[in-house]
Structure 1
Amino acid sequence: MYTESAHLDTFPRDNLPPIEKQPEFLLGSHDYPKRFNVGVELCDRLVAQGHGQRTALAGNGRRRSYQELCEWTNRLAHVLVDDLGIVAGNRVLIRSANNPAMVACWLAATKAGAVVVNTMPMLRAKELSQIVDKAEISLALCDTRLLDELHECQKASPGLARIVGFDGTANHEAELDRLALSKPVTFKAVDTAADDIALMGFTSGTTGSPKATLHYHRDLLVIADGYAKEVLKVSADDVFVGSPPLAFTFGLGGLAVFPLRFGACAVLLEHASPPNMMDIIREYQATVVFTAPTAYRAMLASPTRHDDLGSLRVAVSAGETLPAPIYHDWIEQTGTPIIDGIGATEMLHIFISNRLDDHRPNCTGKPVAGYQARIVDSDMQEVPAGTVGRLAVRGPTGCRYLADKRQQNYVVDGWNITGDAFYQDAEGYFHFAARNDDMIVSAGYNIAGPEVESALLAHPAVKECAVIGVPDLERGQIVKAFVVLNAGFEEDEACGKMLQDHVKQTIAPYKYPRSVSFIDQLPKTTTGKVQRFRLAKPSQDDTPSIHESASQQ
């Protein structure tokens, strides 16, 4: 049963999946009040606890203390309610790069009882319209540098009645900032229920109609008090930096929820390239970094020194499985542990992870406290240790799609079926094999692409790579590798044969890539995930194939 909602606009709760189609939630380890507002918990509460003068957010040339953040967000919340007519339950879209102003808008809208939909600056009008229409959004807050696409979106989605600009550069010269100047620095936040919806996250890998995941005020504290506290051991002395967009839950957790829950500092980068992140780590003496494996590899390839990143105490890798060569190289060159984990937008954040004192290569670790995981077959029967199957997980967070029939595919018998193929070893550790739809079946053999990628990355010629299965009349599928070479290596047949032989000597020979294509760069999302579907269905622009070695031994 739900707690009585504070939402006057009941659209979000009305469009939750029926209780019987939701996963089983395991809340025993998290005891929260029935009513609280997470915007208060991540802002005002820290001031009350004595953190007011500590730096909460840094970015775009200035720092904001918790006291300043509290007053700033309260002023903005007044604008939302007093001037823009927001009532609890309304959806508010925020469009911005990673900067303190975006976090302030998110916290303010949350205090006002709105359901926030954070979006990336890379989205175009058509993509924005899909989000606006599905979530029935009437108000958008937008960095003034990114207004054009949103105005185009408004033409196709007239339900978006109001677009209000804010200044992401900290000059505070836009409409939202001007309205906030005259507002009080105190605000009585909406008395939301713990199970009122606070956040609507759209999945990054969606094809067709976008999927929107619904997360409660409670859920945002769960991920901090679970993963961040148990696994990362976060304290007020930590400084966070990273590349994932705040529009994705991986970034929102790692670069906003986690630091703000514990009185720590988040350094936000609008352009989080690997060199920029290395500079920021040094400048701010960052202790925790969040990014994808490809970014860690790029950081290691930088000509600058890596042993001067000594302020770091942990590097968090997610988004793609962490290849063993990157794991080993990072630890060797920086002396900092790098811990792999798996999360999902549907689950809000990471639910299986290595630990600071228990991490190993080619391993995702064990469930975060409060979560249970197992490997099952297509009939939901648990399979023996060492057998690859479907990952099923349940815990204090889980999948709730907004009015979407695909809920029944993700939640089966109370378990979240994440779409990942894993196996669990005899010691209880979980190991990623592939996405369920990315397993390559060649001549009757099941081959996990990430294992082949890891073998290729161990060769000094390989800068980056991605492996997919492609149709083959004789074998059904063959393994095909797309390789970006390091400088000094020729894109020719001899190089392709060298890489094929290397894989045969590293892992079981039947897994080697029977086709190798050299390309200039891999197609990726803004979170660093390789878009393998673009390699599987290449266009002229997607895969600038230069030379192919297609040995059919």
Structure 2
Amino acid sequence: MVVSDADEGLLDHIDEAHKDFKDVLRHKFVINHNRPGWINFTEKLENSPAEFVRPKGKEATQNNDISLMYFSSGTTGFPKMVQHDFTYPLAHILTAGYWQNVMDNGLHLTVADSGWAKCAWGKLYGQWICGSAVFAYDYARFDARNMLEKASHYGVTTFCAPPTVYRFLIKEDISQYDFSSLNYCVVAGDPLNPEVYEKFLEYTDLKLMEGFGQTETVVAIATYPWLKPTPGSMGKPSPIYDIQLMRPDGKLADVGEEGEIVIDTSKGRPTDLFAGYRADPEKTEAAWHDGYYHTGDMAWKDEDGYMWFVGRADDIIKSSGYKIGPFEVESALIQHPAVLECAITASPHPVRGQVVKATIVLTKDYEASEQLKKELQDHVKKVTAPYKYPRIVEFVPELPKTISGKIRRVEIRQHNDEKEDN
């Protein structure tokens, strides 16, 4: 089902797409408008009975019926249609009440486009169930100052945004805004660099509580209110999931050893885990087999049980026998005052197999130069293991991102491969 306003261009676009998805899209509603093949939502609503009669028997909705579908963010390839059933919204009580720490009569702001699962995480189910109002903030192009002004003016009490947003916020003079009502801030969507955590804490006296999850899940790993935040760590596994780290050989990883984040489903599917990819049993089977759901994300666990993100399995760089996670190199670069944001990817190399490439957006006080490139390379060598430094550095005005704000490393890799072919 789709509900649209009476924009003729938009309706034409939906009708054209409908030709290829007639088995999926069965009902088309338009607001206060008559159009062939569409149902006038306004007329139907006016003629509807005031009392809702709940269907019974076969017509009744079952908990395991599909209630919604979201596209995955598509950071590593073509987005997948992720299906969730009617039990999914209730699990966001954990997201809102026990991670975002929303409060009764509070005002919560999550920075997320309405077309993505992060919207369900922060603008719909959990917040309302927990008694918090939701502040809807939409924009054509992100403006850090405008967001700071709105959050301050309306008295936002809890805030959730991807690291990209926080990187831009700490470049502004936050001290000129009144955030006396702001009690709690969380971050998810991409790994949080420790430098961003420390700067935000310095400017606001608020600790950023990181979380991890996917379109396929609710919050799966997080720094919950009762945990001490460890900058750079995602936190600890959610109590509703049995989360393990799995090595490539199928054995569980030891403390300090990298592995893929997996969810044990051998005792049954958790009610909040997705119900498969729409019309794609092969991808469903590839992600969900032998009693585990495979997230495709790599991490390691320390002795205290905190989990540390390494990168997507597809993003790990294999150079001269070394395995290099992009997050560590990005965190090293972001500590330099010249770097606003960056993305680390693999670039093909005839001898080493792959080398580390840094695609960098500079802060407004710096200009691209060979001298700055060398300075950044030396900086990484000092902060982390020297072999991890970026042998290739490219300065760009902006990074390619999904609508939900995640960096599209797959697009950067494709650009690298095309340059290699030429």
- Which range, TM-score by smaller chain? 0.7 to 0.9
Match of 1:299 in 2: 169
Match of 1:24 in 2: none
Match of 2:222 in 1: 353
Match of 1:320 in 2: 190
Match of 2:210 in 1: 340
1:246 aligns with 2:110: no
State the TM-score, normalized to the length of structure 2.
0.86
Counterpart CA distance in 1 for 2:372 and 2:345 is: 19
1:292·1:319 contact (CA, 8 Å) conserved in 2? yes
Cα root mean square deviation, aligned: 2.5
Match of 1:9 in 2: none
1:154 aligns with 2:18: yes
Match of 1:142 in 2: 4
One-letter amino acid matched to 1:426: E
Match of 1:492 in 2: 369
Q: Deviations over 1:45-69 (max 9, x none)?
A: xxxxxxxxxxxxxxxxxxxxxxxxx
| Residue 53 (structure 2) aligned to one of 188, 194, 209 | 188
Counterpart CA distance in 2 for 1:260 and 1:203 is: 24
Of 245-254 and 272-281, more deviation after overlay is shown by 272-281
Query: CA offset at residue 237 of structure 1?
Result: 1.9
Q: Note closer, same or farther for the CA distance 1:200–1:157 as it changes in structure 2 (3 Å cut).
A: closer
One-letter amino acid matched to 1:205: G
1:438 aligns with 2:318: no
Q: Deviations over 1:431-468 (max 9, x none)?
A: 00010110011111111111111111110001111110
1:236 aligns with 2:236: no
1:219 aligns with 2:88: yes
| Residue 31 (structure 2) aligned to one of 156, 162, 166 | 166
1:245·1:252 contact (CA, 8 Å) conserved in 2? no
Of 253-262 and 180-189, more deviation after overlay is shown by 180-189
Counterpart CA distance in 1 for 2:311 and 2:410 is: 14
Equivalent residue of 1:535, what SS? helix
Counterpart CA distance in 1 for 2:70 and 2:395 is: 36
1:227·1:369 contact (CA, 8 Å) conserved in 2? no
2:341·2:361 contact (CA, 8 Å) conserved in 1? yes
Which 5+ residue runs of structure 1 have no aligned equivalent?
Answer: 1-91, 93-139, 168-173, 544-553
How many pairs does the alignment contain? 396
2:164·2:341 contact (CA, 8 Å) conserved in 1? yes
One-letter amino acid matched to 2:219: I
Query: CA offset at residue 230 of structure 1?
Result: 2.5
State the TM-score, normalized to the length of structure 1.
0.67
Counterpart CA distance in 1 for 2:174 and 2:43 is: 43
Query: CA offset at residue 303 of structure 1?
Result: 4.4
Q: Deviations over 1:330-385 (max 9, x none)?
A: 111122221111111112x2110012342121100001122221111123211211
Equivalent residue of 2:282, what SS? coil
Equivalent residue of 1:289, what SS? strand
1:337·1:356 contact (CA, 8 Å) conserved in 2? no
Query: CA offset at residue 156 of structure 1?
Result: 4.8
Equivalent residue of 1:500, what SS? helix
Q: Note closer, same or farther for the CA distance 1:261–1:284 as it changes in structure 2 (3 Å cut).
A: same
1:271 aligns with 2:139: yes
One-letter amino acid matched to 2:292: W
Q: Note closer, same or farther for the CA distance 1:399–1:215 as it changes in structure 2 (3 Å cut).
A: closer
2:241·2:263 contact (CA, 8 Å) conserved in 1? yes
Q: Note closer, same or farther for the CA distance 1:513–1:430 as it changes in structure 2 (3 Å cut).
A: same
2:96·2:130 contact (CA, 8 Å) conserved in 1? no
Counterpart CA distance in 1 for 2:224 and 2:205 is: 16
Counterpart CA distance in 2 for 1:462 and 1:206 is: 22
2:234·2:309 contact (CA, 8 Å) conserved in 1? yes
One-letter amino acid matched to 2:295: T
1:449·1:468 contact (CA, 8 Å) conserved in 2? yes
Equivalent residue of 1:466, what SS? strand
Of 445-454 and 284-293, more deviation after overlay is shown by 284-293
- Map 1:533-552; keep pairs closer than 5 Å: 533-538=410-415
Of 303-312 and 433-442, more deviation after overlay is shown by 303-312
One-letter amino acid matched to 2:328: E
Match of 1:421 in 2: 298
Of 146-155 and 511-520, more deviation after overlay is shown by 146-155
1:364 aligns with 2:364: no
Counterpart CA distance in 2 for 1:535 and 1:206 is: 10
Equivalent residue of 2:149, what SS? helix
Query: CA offset at residue 532 of structure 1?
Result: 0.8
Match of 2:267 in 1: none
Q: Note closer, same or farther for the CA distance 1:483–1:155 as it changes in structure 2 (3 Å cut).
A: same
Query: CA offset at residue 207 of structure 1?
Result: 7.5
- Map 1:347-496; keep pairs closer than 5 Å: 347=217, 349-357=218-226, 358-394=228-264, 395-401=270-276, 402-403=278-279, 404-496=281-373
Query: CA offset at residue 189 of structure 1?
Result: 4.1
Counterpart CA distance in 2 for 1:206 and 1:166 is: 34
Match of 1:176 in 2: 41
Counterpart CA distance in 2 for 1:372 and 1:205 is: 26
